[in-house]
Amino acid sequence: MRLTALLCGVLVLGCFQPAAAEIVSQQAENKVPVTMIGVVTSARYTEVRLQTQAALNGVCWTSQGTDSPYLLAGGRRYRFLGGDGITACPAVRNYAAHESMALRFEPLDPQAKEFSLVEGQGGENQMIDPGSSKTRFWNFLRVKLK
């Protein structure tokens, strides 16, 4: 009985892929004072860690719809799942300089070596025409992974 339980435990643990963390240092586009400081990939999610470089007021994240952030890799969009240290719109949050947050997305393809974080339709529009909006979106383009 104990041997069976041990073998079942080994089989179950063998099915889980451990998370891999990478240190990244990449500034957001359009002079937004936010830096991507890390990426964690696992079989369940891809987590992007961000840190403010200056105080930022009125920040929120849209969890669904056209303004929801997404990761773009290999021509595919990876959906936003949630995060830590963030506030869902329409509520807002203020951040002091050097505060961190984590955004989780669907897991990237294990072969992905580069991705972009785009802050929804507004972020897309800002990349096409930077003067089109007074809002500065948090886009991180061509982030390299090892």
Single-letter code of the amino acid located at 21: A
SS3 of residue 32 by DSSP: coil
| pLDDT, tens digit, 9 for 90 and up, residues 42-63 | 999 999 999 999 999 999 999 9
pLDDT reading at 14 higher than 60: no
| pLDDT, tens digit, 9 for 90 and up, residues 84-94 | 999 999 999 99
- Looking at every residue in the chain, the average pLDDT score rounds to 85
For the chain, domain boundaries: 17-144
pTM for the whole structure:
0.82
Domain 17-144 fold: Immunoglobulin-like (2.60.40)
Choice among 26-40, 69-83, 84-98 with the minimum mean pLDDT: 26-40
pLDDT band at 30 (very low <50, low <70, confident <90, very high): confident
Q: Give, in order, the Cα–Cα distances in Å from 64 to each of 37, 69, 116.
A: 24, 8, 18
pLDDT band at 3 (very low <50, low <70, confident <90, very high): very low
User: Which whole number is the average pLDDT over 17-37?
Assistant: 81
Rounded-to-integer distance, Cα 38 and Cα 101, Å? 10
Top pLDDT among 9 and 31 is at 31
Q: Give, in order, the Cα–Cα distances in Å from 121 to each of 9, 23, 53, 71, 141.
A: 45, 28, 24, 13, 15
pLDDT band at 19 (very low <50, low <70, confident <90, very high): low
